[in-house]
C-alpha cells in the first residue's frame, strides 16, 4: 500500500508540474500578444490557438477537427452534431463551446450562441475569439454599448487585429467618442 501511495504522489507531482509549466507558457504567450509592440503577433496568436485546440484527449481533439472540417464543407448541422458531442463529453474544454457557438451564430441562433460563449468565457476568460464572438452578437442584436465594452476587452487581450480597432472606432463614433 505504501508503494502504491508513493506512486500516486509521484504521478501527481509530475502531472502538476507539467500543468503549471503549460499555464506559465500560456500566460507568457498571452502577455506577449497583449503587448501592442509585439511584431510577431500572428505567430503568437497561432501558438495560442494551437494550445487552445488541445483538449487532452485524442478522441475529443478528433471531434473538434471533424466539426471544423464540417464547417469548411458547409455542413453546419454535422458540425453542430460534432461540437455538441464534444461539449457533452468534455464540458470543461472552452474551445468546444466556442466552436459550437460559431455554428449557432452562422445559423443565426443567437441565444444558444450567447450561452455557449458565456460558458467558454467562464472556462477561459482570455479567449479573445469567444469575446469577439460575443461582441459581434451584442452589436448585431442592438446591444451596442455592451458590444463596445466587449470589443475593448478584446483589444486589451489582442490589440493587433484591425477589425477590432475598426469596431471600437465605429461604435465610439456612434456614442460621440465617449468612454462608457
The pLDDT, as a whole number, for residue 22 is 56
User: Does residue 131 contact residue 164 with C-beta atoms inside 8 Å?
Assistant: no
Delineate the domains of the chain, giving CATH numbers in brackets. 31-174 (1.25.40.10)
The pLDDT, as a whole number, for residue 179 is 54
Within the chain, which residues score under 70 in pLDDT? 1-22, 177-180
The pLDDT, as a whole number, for residue 20 is 41
Residue 74 and residue 91: Cα distance in Å, rounded?
A: 25
- The pTM score is 0.83
User: Does residue 133 contact residue 124 with C-beta atoms inside 8 Å?
Assistant: no
Residue 22 and residue 123: Cα distance in Å, rounded?
A: 16
Amino acid at each position: 500500500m505504501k508503494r502504491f501511495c508513493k506512486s500516486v504522489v509521484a504521478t501527481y507531482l509530475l502531472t502538476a508540474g507539467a500543468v503549471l509549466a503549460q499555464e506559465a507558457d500560456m500566460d507568457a504567450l498571452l502577455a506577449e500578444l497583449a503587448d501592442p509592440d509585439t511584431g510577431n503577433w500572428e505567430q503568437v496568436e497561432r501558438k495560442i490557438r494551437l494550445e487552445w485546440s488541445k483538449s487532452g484527449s485524442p478522441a475529443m481533439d478528433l471531434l473538434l477537427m471533424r466539426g471544423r472540417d464540417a464547417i469548411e464543407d458547409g455542413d453546419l448541422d454535422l458540425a453542430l452534431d460534432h461540437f455538441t458531442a464534444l461539449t457533452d463529453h468534455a464540458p470543461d474544454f472552452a474551445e468546444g463551446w466556442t466552436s459550437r457557438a460559431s455554428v449557432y451564430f452562422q445559423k443565426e441562433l443567437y441565444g444558444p450562441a450567447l450561452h455557449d460563449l458565456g460558458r467558454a468565457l467562464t472556462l477561459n476568460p482570455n479567449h479573445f475569439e469567444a469575446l469577439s464572438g460575443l461582441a459581434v452578437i451584442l452589436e448585431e442584436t442592438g446591444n451596442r454599448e455592451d458590444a463596445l465594452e466587449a470589443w475593448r476587452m478584446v483589444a486589451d487581450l489582442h490589440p493587433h487585429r484591425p477589425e477590432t480597432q475598426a469596431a471600437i472606432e465605429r461604435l465610439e463614433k456612434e456614442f460621440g467618442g465617449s468612454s462608457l
